[in-house]
Structure 1
């Protein structure tokens, strides 16, 4: 069982503790046994916690040359700005950053995170609208991996899968490594928006897939070197 919930101080008794490098949110999860028609198991409870680095750079100290891109987004009110980062990881726990010295071969799986570490989750949510690949940094020729929050039409259905998007300060994806014909270079770009409420896309809705009117607040990108 996997539970997803944005961490926010005082929300359902969530407590935040901050040290020199990380903020740790703690709470207690209660699972109540079914009581009808008879109760055959005890209620259960467990402590839960999530730790986040206060700085993206701290999280990347374990990697000599991490695969990372950053950009600055203005919020929808025009009164503030935030640094958004796009990172690649080697594991589905998003704890081991991919280094540019890590060999990548076609069909390897990597994990992409787009996050704004200091975004106020009570006010804004981060959404990745599009992810596309290009053999050059100019992105003139692009292949859509994610379109309007849903897997794109230019690649197989399992090329990119959405873990979470539009519900908090971080969006997560799993991607199979691929090559673009006649090139080992793969530039990945993500179009970002800041929402004032949950803005996850229902990919089972044909209308949501075809909605291309969403205003883009910024773009962030990373570079991958893939081999067959």
Structure 2
């Protein structure tokens, strides 16, 4: 089953605590595991096709901060609080009930990456909206110590 994808890149601007600066969260779907070919324009994808997603923070010093995906979930409508949802990442870990989800990179740079296999909720709900919460953490001492900078970024996949 082929589906048409119309990726809409989502950008969220946030201010760091105590007015230390601003940063931008960008979530982009990619066609390949090397994250070199972003989806753009209208593209056909197949059911169960592997999807690759990157959440990147701009405006934060990459020598001091890393991006951590806390949760990612999908909904059939552009509403992160919709009653129908499918968790992809929860508690910084892939959903144990979905063996197609793989967390590829998290908490080591200003980009976090994961993949999952494409799905739809029902034939009557052919769109999938992807939502993620992320935070920045300090890379002090080669470990990621949390700074409370929660964001909500969303991406319309289909």
- The normalised TM-score by structure 2 is 0.82
Matched, 1:221 2:154: yes
Moved beyond 2 Å, runs of 4+: 73-78, 197-200
- The structure where strand makes up a greater share of residues is 2
Identify which of structures 1 and 2 has the higher relative contact order when contacts are C-alpha pairs closer than 8 Å and 6+ apart.
2
Alignment deviations for residues 143-202 of structure 1 (CA, whole Å, 9 cap, x no partner) = 11100110124x422x210110011110011111011123111000010111113439xx
Unaligned stretches of 5+ residues in structure 1: 1-64, 201-213
Matched-pair contact (CA < 8 Å) for 2:7–2:156? no
The equivalences for 1:172-183 within 5 A come to 172-181=113-122, 182-183=124-125
The CA distance in 1 between the partners of 2:131 and 2:125, in whole Å, is 17
Say whether the 8 Å CA contact 1:67–1:98 is kept in structure 2: no
In terms of Rg, which structure is larger? 1
Is contact 2:17–2:149 with CA below 8 Å preserved after alignment?
A: no
Partner residue, 2:3: none
Distance in 1 of aligned mates of 2:19 and 2:93: 28
Provide the alpha-carbon RMSD of the alignment. Answer: 2.1
Alpha-carbon spacing, 1:175–1:100, altered in 2? closer, same or farther (3 Å): farther
Tell whether 2:121 aligns with 1:189: no
Mapped contact 1:73–1:218 kept (Cα < 8 A)? yes
Question: How many positions carry a matched residue from both structures?
Answer: 146
Q: Does 1:161 align with 2:132?
A: no
**1:84-121, Cα deviation, whole Å (9 max, x unpaired):** 10000101111111124111221001210110134212
- 8 Å contact kept, 2:89–2:95: yes
Report the TM-score, using the length of structure 1 for normalisation. Answer: 0.59
- Whether the 8 Å contact between 1:74 and 1:217 is mirrored in structure 2 is no
Q: Does 1:119 align with 2:60?
A: yes
Aligned: 1:199 with 2:144? yes
The equivalent of 2:95 in structure 1 is 152
Separation (CA, whole Å) in 2 of partners of 1:94 and 1:84: 17
Deviation at 1:75, TM superposition (A): 2.6
- Structure 2 unaligned runs (5+)? 1-5
